[in-house]
Amino acid sequence: MNLELTDKVVIVTGGSDGLGRATVERLANEGASVIACARREKHLQTAVNELKEATQGEITAVAMDVTSEDECKRTIETVIQKYGRIDALINNAGTSAAHGFETVTDELWHADIELKLMGAVRMCRHVIPYLRDLGGGSIVNATIGAAKAPAAAALPTSVTRAAGLNLTKSLANEYASSNIRVNSICIGYIKSAQWERRAAEQPLENLYSELATKVPLGRVGESSDYADLVAFLCSARASYITGTAINLDGGMCPVV
C-alpha cells in the first residue's frame, strides 16, 4: 500500500524511545522528513543517528520540552525555517502515572496535565496555522484505553488522557473545514521503554507474558503496531478518517 508520505514533513514528540522512536523509524522508511523531539538532547541525538543509519532517511533531532510554551513555538518555527511546511504532528510525549486518588498530590496533577494535555495543546496551537495554510494535514494524539473506561487507581493519567480525547474531537470538528484531520490512538499493553523500566526485578519477557494473559488476543503489542497505525492515519489512505479514537489494545478496552 502506497501511503504517499514521501517528502511529507512530520513532527513526533517523545521521539527518542519506545513508541515514538518506532514511529520515527516507520515514517522515515516511508520517505517522510521526520522531526524527532524529546527532552534529553544527547539521548535523542544518539537515537536519531542510529535511525538515520538504519533507514537512510531524513530525520532531524530537536531537543525540546512540550511543557514549555516557548520551546514548542521555537520548535515549530525551526521546522518551518528548514522545510517551509508541516504536514503532520504526532503528540506522543508522555509517561505513565497511575495511582490511587488519595495519593495524588496537586503537584502530580499539575505535572501530568502540563505534560499530556497542555503539551498537546501547545503543539497543536502552533502547528494548526501552518496545516491550514498548506490546505490540510493530520494530527495524531496518543492516549490510552483508560481514557474511555478508567480502572481503579489509574490517576491522574486516565483523567488527562480523557481530556486528550475531548481535545481530539473538538479540534476535529473545528478544523474539518480546513481539511485538518485529528485522531487519537488509545494504547493498551504495547512493548515500550516504560515497561522495560518497570521490569527491573524480573525478566522482561516474564512481565510481557503476565500482561498477555489480560489481553483477548493473547499477546502484548509491538511498537511497530503503533507506528504502523500512526503512519496510516497520517497518510492519504486515511483521508476520510477524523475525530475518532482507535483502540490499539488487542481487545482489552470494554468501550469501542
Q: What is the pLDDT of residues 192-223, one digit of tens each?
A: 888 887 777 778 999 999 999 999 999 999 99
The grid coordinates of residue 217 equal: 488476543
If one counts every other C-beta atom within 10 angstroms of the C-beta of residue 155, the result is 22
Q: How many domains does the chain have?
A: 1
Each of the 256 residues of the chain gets a pLDDT tens digit; together they read 899 999 999 999 999 999 999 999 999 999 999 999 999 999 999 999 999 999 999 999 999 999 999 999 999 999 999 999 999 999 999 988 999 999 999 999 999 999 999 999 999 999 999 999 999 999 999 999 999 999 999 999 999 999 999 999 999 999 999 999 999 999 999 998 888 877 777 789 999 999 999 999 999 999 999 999 999 999 999 999 999 999 999 999 999 9
Does this model's pTM top 0.95? My answer is yes
Is 14 strand, coil or helix?
A: coil
Rounded CA gap, 77 and 32, in Å? 19
pLDDT for 63: 98
pLDDT for 200: 72
In a domain? residue 113: yes
Q: Show the domain range for 33.
A: 9-189+223-245
In a domain? residue 72: yes
Residues 6+ apart with CB under 8 A from 45: 61, 63
In a domain? residue 256: no
In a domain? residue 146: yes
CATH code, 162: 3.40.50.720
Residue corresponding to grid cell 495524531: 140
In a domain? residue 252: no
- The CA dihedral of 191, 68, 76, 174, to the nearest 10 degrees, is 80
In a domain? residue 36: yes
Is 248 strand, coil or helix?
A: strand
pLDDT for 254: 96
Residues 6+ apart with CB under 8 A from 239: 181
- The secondary structure of residue 190, as a DSSP letter, is B
